[in-house]
Structure 1
């Protein structure tokens, strides 16, 4: 059976070695409560359970610290915890608890992000950004569609262009710059072309 061959405690954490190799970093108090000590033998199942129990307080603290800076999508937070070295079962348990507590809600996250970004970016760009943040595509698409459902995309794009190019100039060169500016912000080709035309010829929405 796997055997604990070392346990080094420091600042409330216990670095545990099993069969001569580093195994995991656990909350020191939990490790003590579990009776982990050099020479203790545990089954594979016992090791898995001990790891989740010992990692969970540390992973929860890390997750709350990350969420303290700004809201995160569940996928992004999962990636952060996995990169920190926590076991899949530990990460799953922490995310489940955060959902129960109301700290994780991808639907709300996506709606808030779409609303914040809608003043600067178009729907396609916002959809890409949400998916990069780890939001499920269907959830992201619903949030974007909801945000833009009552808006005229052309007018939103025109307003964005006016904030950037409020010069009164009309020229082919400016129209090309406007088209590129809006395209980079995720507006559709048709919308970019229509707003660019206004900067070339003048017209409604000047």
Structure 2
């Protein structure tokens, strides 16, 4: 059986050691592995010992890589798994690392999910459906997702939907009331708010216009349409203008008024 003839510290990694068997370099090991297997000069090693030591050292190196990955922010188990896969660690090594991380409470998917939801709620820019989908993409189990979503109350969802809707309304005051309402509803859907939240929020969002505001909005849209269809004349021009403005959600009586004033 080969015998350990020399042990030296690695120059660039003081917590790792080079093991020499029968005067030849054999492999490197982490300090923890060195201590666990009582690797000292003069110790004999079987082939099984060497295989086991190298496997344990692979786990240790992958564990260090995972802890470094965790040092920047919380991670889900699946994020760590994908990170280690990219580093080309074998699946048994990855699984052993994840078990150690869970045992040491370095990884907790439920707490990760809850913290993620709290962060998104504080940002106030996403609805619950979007947050759920993002957690699913991070490999979080459905049960944990549902528990974590308790951090996002319906009252808070409505509050955020109203804030986002009012902001969009203020940025689009040249749209008709009907078209603006549709735009707000569609926007909130893309942000991940469910219909029941949108239907409550829309009652509080300031999208409604008085007669002057609606008329001013129609004039702005009418001028744009005119530039697009000014090459047409007579009946054809009026029909195209009516169709364009009606699609924008303006009532027919206001469209007729605009066309009469600009005849």
TM-score bracket, shorter-length normalisation:
0.5 to 0.7
- 1:28-177 aligned within 5 A: 28-30=28-30, 42=47, 47=51, 49-118=52-121, 119-144=124-149, 146-149=150-153, 151=155, 153-166=157-170, 169=173, 171-177=177-183
Per the normalisation by structure 2, the TM-score is 0.55
Name stretches of at least 5 consecutive residues in structure 2 with no aligned partner.
1-9, 18-26, 40-44, 210-263
The 10-residue stretch of structure 1 (187-196 or 117-126) with the greater mean CA deviation from structure 2 = 187-196
More RCO (CA 8 Å, sep 6+): 1
Name stretches of at least 5 consecutive residues in structure 1 with no aligned partner.
1-8, 15-26
Kindly state the Cα deviation for residue 11 of structure 1 after the two structures are TM-superposed. Answer: 5.3
CA distance in 2, matches of 1:178, 1:136: 32
* Deviation by residue 1:135-174 (Cα, 9 ceiling, x = unmatched): 1111012111x11346253333112333454459472333
CA distance in 2, matches of 1:29, 1:189: 58
- Match for residue 201 of structure 1? 208
Aligned pair partner of 2:192 in 182, 186, 191: 186
The 10-residue stretch of structure 1 (89-98 or 164-173) with the greater mean CA deviation from structure 2 = 164-173
**Counterpart secondary structure, 2:155:** coil
Per the normalisation by structure 1, the TM-score is 0.68
Contact 2:154–2:197 (CA<8 Å) still a contact in 1? no
CA distance in 2, matches of 1:163, 1:77: 38
* Deviation by residue 1:84-129 (Cα, 9 ceiling, x = unmatched): 1112222122222222222211111111111111222111111001
Structure showing greater Rg: 2
CA distance in 2, matches of 1:201, 1:193: 15
CA distance in 1, matches of 2:179, 2:127: 22
Contact 2:127–2:191 (CA<8 Å) still a contact in 1? yes
